[in-house]
Amino acid sequence: MHDQSATETISALTTDGETGLTIIEAKNRLLNVGPNALEQGKSTSIFTLLMRQFKSPIVFLLLASAILSFSHASWSDGIAILIVLLINTCIGFFMEHKAERSMDALRGLTKTFSKVIRSGSLIEINTSDIVPGDLIYLEAGDIIPADARIINAYQLQVDESALTGESIPAEKNNKELPLDTPLADRTNLLHKGTAVTRGNAKAVVIATGMNTELGKIASLVQHSEDVTTPLEKKLSQFSKKLIWITLLIAAAIFLTGIVNDKSFVQMLNTVIALSVAAIPEGLPIVATLALAHGMIKMAKRNVIVKKLASVETLGGTNIICTDKTGTLTYNKISVSHIITPDFNSKLNTTDTTSFRLTLQAMTLCNNANINDGQNNAGDVGDPLEVGLLHFATNRGLDPTVIKSTLPRVSEEPFSSETKVMGTHHVTTDGSVTFTKGAAESIISLCTHYRDGETSKEFSKIEKEKWLAVSEAEASNGLKVIAFAHKASKSKETAITLSDLTFLGIASLIDPPREDVADAIHLCHKAGIRVIMITGDHPATARNIASQIGIEHGDVMQGASMPSREIYTKEDKTKWRATSIFARVSPAQKLDLIEVLQEDQSIVAMTGDGVNDAPALKKADIGIAMGMRGTDVAKEVADMVLKDDSFSSIVTAIKEGRVILENIRKFLMFLLSSNLSEILVIATLFITNSPLTITPLQILFINLLSDVFPALALGFNTGSDAIMHRPPHDPKKPVLSNLQWMSVIIYAIIIAASTFSSTIYMADDHEHSSASTILFYTLILCQLLHVFNVGNHRQAFFKSDIAKNSYVWAALAISILLGVLAYIIPPFKDALRLGNLNGTHLLIIFGCALQSFVIIQVFKKLNVIH
Ligand SMILES: Nc1ncnc2c1ncn2[C@@H]1O[C@H](COP(=O)(O)OP(=O)(O)OP(=O)(O)O)[C@@H](O)[C@H]1O
Ligand SMILES: [Cu+]
């Protein structure tokens, strides 16, 4: 296609270079060629998942003990261990399977949209619905949705590194090329998956889905990503450490065993029981499940988190850098009034020529399209431009008519660096340029201004007067856009932005979102600073900031921020103390983030443009806007806000904190209950007690106490108190020293309470009943312990754990299983359970309650946390 002209390509694809495909034809083609999507890599197969379950050391340990049991002809023991092994594997398998499914579901949430021209109007459709022959419209920040041939392009630059690895953007245009041009040099072709970094273009789609260059590569390599999060890594390191500790204890047991002349089988049983007690195999996967559950919850609240790891980072965020337009405001921009040298629409004076010219500038120097619900299509484009178009149309200007009488021949696309945009049009007797942009930028480009029918010299005094007018407008919280034009006798088609004639300004309303003030208040309570970084006028920024409660102080302007090569320590200190940054360029955003991060801050930052990509990557949490953001921003971001709203960031941070807190809770719960088991087994062994706890019993206890209650803790909704304290520093260990101390004290209290049951027993008890009492007391102590890991400052029934119905359900299941084990004879035999009477039951309940009460009292006394 690159060796044909655009027109030839268009006819080869039987489409229309102006109006595109008809909607019906597009539908037919979609049925024929299929969706414009790459085939997804396969997710982990059921078999791999199953095999993964056999990788843990505990499985080998159990297998070994089963074999040992069989070799000693204790068949029931061997079979029982195998059954437990099976149950454990199944639970592990289903948990991982659930986690995988959740991740799949989350991947499906990120839908992308593209702008196409169909039946003559510019509309937005699902990227997967694009078909060959479609006309696509692309601008800076778009990721090219399919392979396409350029029809026309204005200063188009494309970053093709996704395809070729070449990171310097390539210039693109519509010129024909020789047939033998290599792929990388085909400057008139655009490829799916590459990104527009500058300019804009209209192109015709030549290939979609797996037929694109990207599709051909994608079918060669199905890349897989490493998805282990730092937290999961920390937890599996944790598990590994525990295995070593267990080995040490096991060695100690063997030594004391030899000294005390114990039988080999007895020692082996104790060691196996100990290992089963000590190794929390479920730890990393329970954490994954909690994180995945959190992601799904956030997705329901319009926040798409792309990586599990971000959920963790979110919980530790202490600075949010947010832009203004669209995040703090509604971004439904409408023109309030127009002021030109001879006209003020607020005062409802009659139209003048300069006002008419301003309306033309608004309409022509504009890439938006208002569809007014025709073909079910909404307005497409930058909300600011949509607002301007609506105003001009309401004042009687027909965009279609004026666009055809003054056809556009070239364009200087808007960039947040220059803050201006310009378009060049040919007329019957020459050409004309229209520009719009930030007032300072436009005024500095003007040499004249238009007053009525005449053009006058734009003196310094006059310029300052207009800067003051825009400053006054901006300090009322309005967004100010200035307009200029330049008419010329030549038929020149290239655009130059100089010697312009100033036309006037438009003041636009973009009110702050209603819920933002509350969200910011909540941030301050939670120890999170909110910093506004905007490309807008400082006065507008200050007004909006005060409306929503962002702390005051000086507004820092981009112009007074020295570049990274020369900024000083004082500059950095000043930046860190500032909360409002205005007229800031994307490069300065990047510098600012670095300076904030040097100060050990965890920075979340929002961005939408293609130039924001480096800053989004650099931030600890890069946040892109789902509606307003460019494809590039969404691609590099860690998180996408579907509703573009600031409050959603705060919701996500809260959710992140709740999840971390939940993981910490079940970590403490698991560690303390497992430690209590170790204490019980070791004490029995060392004191040469006639009572026993068998490995199988420990496995059973862990099945009851580790699986269901620990999972249920992951579903805690968290209390509001979580946003009333400063964030947890992710660089610190998961558990503080104080929390470790608490774990140890918990374990000692549980073990001691379990042993206290022996005191209450009558002297003539049978050993089998006594061991059974010990067994059930340990279980019940642990089950009640689930309520202990809550916040110590909260009353029991108000705590989020007591309110979590999953916890109650988990307890019910666990207790039921405990009872069934006693009632069903084969289980009772395998678990070596003796008979219990009413008094025994009383002892069990009493001791469990005792352990619960002691811990609660300790907590109230602030001894443990
Ligand atoms: N499409 C446009 N054409 C011309 N000028 C524009 C356009 N959009 C914005 N501007 C001008 O450029 C300035 C900077 O725009 P930019 O997009 O960087 O920030 P913003 O949208 O005002 O605010 P924020 O950074 O909070 O999103 C604006 O204040 C406005 O004056
Ligand atoms: Cu346990």
Write the DSSP assignment of 564-588 as a string of letters.
TTT--HHHHHHHHH--EEES--HHH
Q: Is the pLDDT of residue 165 over 80?
A: no
CATH topology of domain 334-509: Calcium-transporting ATPase, cytoplasmic domain N (3.40.1110)
Q: Is the pLDDT of residue 2 over 70?
A: yes
Write the DSSP assignment of 622-677 as a string of letters.
EEEETTTS-HHHHHH-SEEETT--HHHHHHHHHHHHHHHHHHHHHHHHHHHHHHHH
The confidence score (pLDDT) of residue 223 equals 43
Nearest 5°: phi and psi at 792? -70, -15
User: Beta strand 195-207 with 147-159: parallel, antiparallel or unpaired?
Assistant: antiparallel
Does domain 6-40+113-220 fall under CATH 2.70.150.10? My reply is: yes
Lowest model confidence (mean pLDDT) among 162-166, 429-433, 641-645: 162-166
Q: Is the pLDDT of residue 475 over 70?
A: yes
CB 600 within 8 A of CB 616: no
Q: pLDDT tens-digit profile of 92-114?
A: 787 777 777 776 776 666 677 89
**CATH class, 230-296+656-860 region:** mainly alpha
Q: pLDDT tens-digit profile of 267-278?
A: 777 777 777 777
CB 469 within 8 A of CB 442: no
User: Beta strand 603-607 with 121-126: parallel, antiparallel or unpaired?
Assistant: unpaired
Question: Counting ligands in written order, which one lies closest to the CA of residue 666?
Answer: 2
Task: Please state, as a whole number, how many other Cβ atoms lie within 10 Å of the Cβ of residue 765.
Answer: 16
Q: How large is the average pLDDT for residues 524-547?
A: 92
Residues within 6 Å of ligand 1 by CB = 323-325, 382, 384-385, 414, 416, 419-421, 436-438, 481, 534-536
Q: Is the pLDDT of residue 385 over 90?
A: yes
Give the residue among 156, 147, 157, 142 at the shortest CA–CA distance from 112: 142
Question: Counting ligands in written order, which one lies closest to the CA of residue 421?
Answer: 1
CB 821 within 8 A of CB 828: yes
Q: What is the pTM of this model?
A: 0.80
How high is the mean pLDDT of the chain?
84
In the annotation, is 323 catalytic?
A: yes
Tell me what ipTM this predicted complex has. 0.94
CB 506 within 8 A of CB 358: yes
Q: pLDDT tens-digit profile of 26-60?
A: 999 999 988 888 776 556 677 777 777 776 666 77
**Residue, of 232 and 725, whose pLDDT is higher:** 725
Residue among 139, 321, 323, 325 to mutate when testing ligand 1 (max atoms within 8 A of CB): 325
Residue among 416, 471, 557, 611 to mutate when testing ligand 1 (max atoms within 8 A of CB): 416
Catalytic-role residue among 142, 323, 591, 800: 323
Question: Counting ligands in written order, which one lies closest to the CA of residue 536?
Answer: 1
Q: Which CATH architecture has domain 303-330+512-644?
A: 3-Layer(aba) Sandwich (3.40)
The confidence score (pLDDT) of residue 57 equals 66
The confidence score (pLDDT) of residue 596 equals 92
The confidence score (pLDDT) of residue 110 equals 63
Q: Which residues of 532-569 are buried (b: 16+ CB within 10 A; e: fewer)?
A: bbbbbbbbbbbbbbeebbbeeeebbebeebeeeeeeee
The confidence score (pLDDT) of residue 224 equals 42
Distance CA 113, CA 123 (A): 10
User: Beta strand 135-139 with 113-118: parallel, antiparallel or unpaired?
Assistant: antiparallel
Question: How do the domains of the chain map onto residue ranges?
Answer: 6-40+113-220, 230-296+656-860, 303-330+512-644, 334-509
Lowest model confidence (mean pLDDT) among 155-164, 217-226, 616-625, 779-788: 217-226
Give the residue among 649, 621, 620 at the shortest CA–CA distance from 302: 649
Is the sign of the CA dihedral 700, 703, 705, 708 positive or negative?
negative
Helices 737-760 and 838-860 cross at an angle (nearest 10°) of: 150
3-state per-residue secondary structure call for 255-282: HHHHHCCCCHHHHHHHHHHHHHHHCCCC
Residue type, 766: E
Residue type, 404: S
Helices 353-364 and 383-394 cross at an angle (nearest 10°) of: 140
Distances in Å between the Cα of 494 and the Cα atoms of 155, 156, 365, 366 are: 11, 15, 15, 18
Report for 66-80, 246-260, 553-567, 825-839: range of highest mean pLDDT: 553-567
Q: How far is the CA of 69 from the centre of ligand 2 (A)?
A: 24
Residue 583 CA: which ligand 1 atom is closest? Answer: 14
3-state helix vs strand vs coil in the chain, percent to 5? 50, 15, 30
The confidence score (pLDDT) of residue 767 equals 77
Distance CA 690, CA 688 (A): 7
Task: Please state, as a whole number, how many other Cβ atoms lie within 10 Å of the Cβ of residue 108.
Answer: 9
CB 677 within 8 A of CB 698: yes
Q: Is the pLDDT of residue 225 over 50?
A: no
Give the residue among 753, 749, 709 at the shortest CA–CA distance from 846: 753
